[in-house]
Structure 1
């Protein structure tokens, strides 16, 4: 006859289970941090015009950089065959080529490292039976999306190897948006995995607050997409004034032909749209703070709403600074990192809003 566990044994089991859940959550947070680093390095690769320096896609052998002078010369000769070299970098020295090569190699290597940092611990957690029911399938989905992201990255690079001197803004937007989606999924799953041990500190969020939190996340993702088109079109290098665009509130060259491509191919339209949606995100963030201010909602709902609003306005300031400095590298990279932080907090706020009342959030996770 099997005896029921004692209270002490049950407590020990619960503590062990919580410890494993924390380990899984921390692993996901670590991978999310790597994705943020990947987004920043990708921005540097784009801004230094380094993305086309490696003209081949070798998922395994590509992890090995040129090891001697002959290999460097071979890689350089391949780069000399594409339009970017002939039009932009004709006469470039081998040392100058190495500078852009290392940026692109670092970007690709970090992508490979993220894949291993996700896949190997996942395998270990799975084999040891440490995953909650249903978590394994979700993690496999993220792993598959990460593999697809590698294919999308090469699909993007290919667009700049034949008839262009840069990559397609459509493919860049797809690549960057997918990176942000992966980040958002990792953050959400990390929150789900953290053991629920704390007591609520207030009321559940109202329907209005929940809808606004969802709306905020949707428009933040939309803003990422618009920002990707600004980056792909290099639209940040024009209209470097604020609050007007060279004295105009609406740029006179907003529309292109045909008109419906203006949103994706007009430099003026892409920057204007990105500015306008930034204002909407800022207003929505303030409205959410107003909706939770002074209410008896769980304090974590209020804390995340305020934190999100603060970061949104800091990000707006970085966006303005990026324009005024004519896309200075360090400022632009801070702006790209800021976008990742805004998305993270938007996901965090939505999670807290949706789960307060249906499950508890660990206080240590949000403090």
Structure 2
């Protein structure tokens, strides 16, 4: 990218002597050379770093959706081993397929549900799970290799390496967690449990999905923030506002904006919890119960003895009856998800309504106003998808769209929060240097 070049030969408050204000080389080295004397400024990550992070977040979005389809098609237990390297290739010969199919035949899922399945039908569910795993490996390589390059080239701002290497470790842990989840559905003990259905633990499923949400939000937020910092350093534009440093400081320090930001953070947390509760619904197939809305069996809530059934308690004194019903009773899990979803929608509507208040609207940056409107629009779409999924007995296209909608809603809320953050310290330093260079250039003329 070609950038406007400022040059000056006069000292600028001891900060800049002679410099190209947005020299890409300066972002990576920040060191003066014999030909160009440059006082040190902090590294400011260029747009390629932002594009890499946003691309990574898109891939994580995709793997979440593919993972949802894998579960909906009951394909997740088709691969009975975790081979991080050798598992990249699927079976290549008919003998390989027969060997893989024999392994699947020893699983509880085949014995209890799919004992009539042939090898051709097995291939369909195998490729679904294989594709999910391969996409996860692609994300890992697509994140770690550029991260190493940008780190060695010193293209990352001071706070980014720690965050991004943490994400890289979380990506590795996510693969292990995925296998830990699958393993729960392959245990032979399921054969000894009356009425047991071969499926993964809803706790492990929620942990696996929750980790993916955290990774997605982290990559997306960091990518957007990096892009915004670059624009601020180059053009002085912040969340749709262009002006001096005092302009954006007045916005973020405004009590109205601070209160709005607190409410937005609380709503983002609620969106995350609601999405996570959906993992328990999926893990227990709770969406196949009470396929009506807004009532459940002709009433607002099922009977108390059904919501808190003693059959789910494992302690003799029944002390665990409450929390086990919350997380293990399909009826209670669906009811909780409904309550959380309704609460999330209501809070999103309230946040949108507050942003329409003239005083609040005047105080918020343009980007924030657009994001809160987007969040409310996405919340409406998500509610319609959720109700349709329930009424039509969880068809795969609607259920997958509903899971994707949860990520989309989280995206709008994360973008909203980023729109209210201050420009990074590196971006502020670069902006001040550019302004000083421009001022000195005018004085020299």
> TM-score, structure 1 length as denominator?
0.92
Could you tell me whether the CA contact under 8 Å between 1:210 and 1:354 is conserved in 2? no
Q: Does the alignment pair 1:40 with 2:65?
A: yes
What's the CA shift string for 1:59-105, capped at 9, x where partnerless?
Answer: 11011110000000000000000110000000201011000000000
2:341, 2:215 → 1: CA distance?
22
2:24, 2:140 → 1: CA distance?
31
2:134, 2:423 → 1: CA distance?
39
The Cα shift of 1:300 comes to: 1.3
How many aligned residue pairs are there?
358
Could you tell me whether the CA contact under 8 Å between 2:181 and 2:201 is conserved in 1? yes
What is the 5 A alignment of 1:87-126? 87-126=112-151
**Hey, what does 1:192 align to over in structure 2?**
225
Q: Name which one, 1 or 2, has greater alpha-carbon Rg.
A: 2
Q: Does the alignment pair 1:289 with 2:352?
A: yes
1:123, 1:106 → 2: CA distance?
26
Could you tell me whether the CA contact under 8 Å between 1:212 and 1:284 is conserved in 2? no
Runs of 5+ consecutive residues of structure 1 not aligned to the other structure: 361-367
Match among 377, 390, 401 for residue 323 of structure 1: 390
2:73, 2:114 → 1: CA distance?
12
Cα pair distance change 1:61/1:357, threshold 3 Å: closer
**Hey, what does 2:300 align to over in structure 1?**
249
1:259, 1:301 → 2: CA distance?
40
Match among 81, 91, 98 for residue 56 of structure 1: 81
**Hey, what does 2:329 align to over in structure 1?**
266
Q: Does the alignment pair 1:336 with 2:387?
A: no
Could you tell me whether the CA contact under 8 Å between 2:44 and 2:157 is conserved in 1? no
Could you tell me whether the CA contact under 8 Å between 1:209 and 1:353 is conserved in 2? no
The Cα shift of 1:124 comes to: 1.3
Aligned-residue CA RMSD (Å): 2.2
Q: Secondary structure at the match of 2:298?
A: coil
**Hey, what does 1:346 align to over in structure 2?**
413
The Cα shift of 1:20 comes to: 5.3
Q: Does the alignment pair 1:13 with 2:27?
A: no
2:355, 2:161 → 1: CA distance?
35
Which runs of at least 4 in structure 1 moved beyond 4 Å after TM superposition?
Answer: 3-9, 14-20, 356-360
Could you tell me whether the CA contact under 8 Å between 1:292 and 1:301 is conserved in 2? no
Match among 267, 274, 279 for residue 342 of structure 2: 279
Q: Secondary structure at the match of 1:189?
A: helix
The Cα shift of 1:9 comes to: 4.3
> TM-score, structure 2 length as denominator?
0.76
Runs of 5+ consecutive residues of structure 2 not aligned to the other structure: 1-8, 28-42, 191-197, 243-247, 311-320, 429-445
1:36, 1:107 → 2: CA distance?
12
The Cα shift of 1:182 comes to: 0.7
The Cα shift of 1:131 comes to: 1.4
Q: Secondary structure at the match of 1:242?
A: coil
**Hey, what does 2:266 align to over in structure 1?**
215
**Hey, what does 1:301 align to over in structure 2?**
368
Segment of structure 1 superposing worse, 286-295 or 303-312 = 286-295
Q: Secondary structure at the match of 1:11?
A: coil
The Cα shift of 1:14 comes to: 6.5
